[in-house]
Chain A
């Protein structure tokens, strides 16, 4: 199994890291993204890296809101920290597991005018080292948003 980072190792303290706990719903995701893009370390990234970070995290957090907690009422924890390779991220929730225990492939929908199914394609296009584990009733998703 891939190793996921511990939630708070020593190198994640200070201005190179950010920690957020929010209710898993679209309005809270929006305000959470506003907070994280205005704070270190994301605020100090170049515009392109910052935009990628906001998009990837929007997709992942809204997926948690919609699929891990289909009846609402859950929280999701986001931890990110800057490394030489980019922005390392860990997203943890206590909702339902991924169907089949695996992440979606992110294949684009094959119908003519799809109204959904874009999210995992965007996530897979814009991240590296995507790892999902399920243990202790928690979903843990770790990934790198390269700089």
Chain B
């Protein structure tokens, strides 16, 4: 599970450099995200622009990461591809995340708050 992080004053961005988060990789994704977010207090933006496939296990792992971060640290999403966006919409999980069109939009949103 290849995740690339970038730290800004208000935002820790995590770019997923994988084309899928599925049942075979969901646990590894969750553990890597837990390690990467253990320190710091910035909001976390998970950029899914390169992810072409997300199944229910991958979705569950993303929700689990949101829970791991706790109530005081925000997890936002960016760059959902059409197939990934549809999984969020069909399960109504699009209502529990702030979803940005791109990482740039998420960063500028954070800078303005």
**Which chain A residues have a beta carbon within 8 Å of chain B's beta carbons?**
26-27, 29-30, 51, 54-55, 58-59, 62, 65-66, 108, 112-116, 118-119, 121-122, 125-126
Contact = CB atoms under 8 A, between A and B. Distances in A.
6 contacts: A59-B55, A62-B55, A66-B23, A113-B66, A121-B90, A122-B56
Contacts of A30: 20, 22-24
Interface stretch (B1-9, B57-65, B98-106): B57-65
Interface string B83-108: 10011001111001000000000000
Task: Give the 7 A-B CB pairs with smallest separation, nearest first.
Answer: A26-B24, A118-B56, A26-B23, A119-B56, A115-B60, A62-B23, A51-B83
A118 B91 contact: yes
B32 interface: no
Contact of B90 (A51, A62, A125): A125
B42 to A, nearest CB: 21
Contacts of A55: 53, 55, 83, 87
A51 B87 CA distance: 11
B24 A29 contact: yes
Q: Among B24, B56, B87, find the residue whose CB has the most chain A CB atoms closer than 10 A.
A: B56
A66 B63 CA distance: 20
A113 B55 contact: no
Contacts of A65: 23
B29 to A, nearest CB: 13
Contacts of A114: 60, 63
Contacts, number: 64
Interface residues of B, number: 24
A58 B22 contact: yes
Contact of A59 (B56, B63, B64): B56
Contact of B24 (A27, A59, A112, A116): A27
A94 to B, nearest CB: 20
Nearest to B60: A115
B67 interface: yes
